[in-house]
A = this chain, B = another copy of it.
Amino acid sequence: MTTVANGVNVQALLEAREVLREAPGAAQFTWRASSKWQNGVHSTTRIQNFFGLGEEQQHKTEAVFDADHPEVFAAEDNGITPIEYLLVGLASCLTAGVASVAQNRGIQLRSVEATVDGNHDIRGILGVDSDVRNGFNDVKVTFNIDADASKQDIEALVA
């Protein structure tokens, strides 16, 4: 396997896989977020602590996120909407996944961008029609990848 420098410590992840295969209890994680209402639909959510590998853990720093509604919903737009945070999670999961798989396959990446478009009929959350799903109807993912690899290998990367 070519030595590539995508910065993913695949070896550590493969070792963790073997350790956790024998110690499933250590694989039980609890992630936590706490949201404090500010005013209107504006809230501030904090994340720092989590549980995993059998004990309490914490991120190096506390992360703080504002959520609100945009001005077209008669709100102050102090942050993105709650549903957009789901897209942040999805998009960041996709780029990390591509980097990990590329590292494992010996593909040197130059750039990766994942764009997600989530279609959402807001009649669901407004209660206009109980038949309308309250959430995304579908999510489209677009990758833009530049790597030292054939088009075929890059396509296989995101498959």
Query: Residues 6-46 of chain A: 1 if any B CB is under 8 Å from the residue's CB, otherwise 0?
Result: 11110011001100110010011111111111011111010
Instruction: Report the minimal beta-carbon distance from A135 to chain B, rounded to whole angstroms.
Output: 10
CA distance A27 to B129 in the complex (A): 12
Q: Number of A interface residues at 8 Å Cβ cutoff, please give it.
A: 85
Identify the closest chain B residue to A64 (Cβ): B88
CA distance A32 to B142 in the complex (A): 11
Which single member of B28, B60, B94 contacts A77 (CB below 8 Å)?
A: B60
Query: Residues 85-115 of chain A: 1 if any B CB is under 8 Å from the residue's CB, otherwise 0?
Result: 1111111111110111000000001011111
| A156 on the B face (CB < 8 A) | no
Instruction: Check A36 against B113 for contact (C-beta < 8 Å).
Output: yes
Query: Residues 56-67 of chain A: 1 if any B CB is under 8 Å from the residue's CB, otherwise 0?
Result: 010110010101
| A128 on the B face (CB < 8 A) | yes
| A117 on the B face (CB < 8 A) | yes
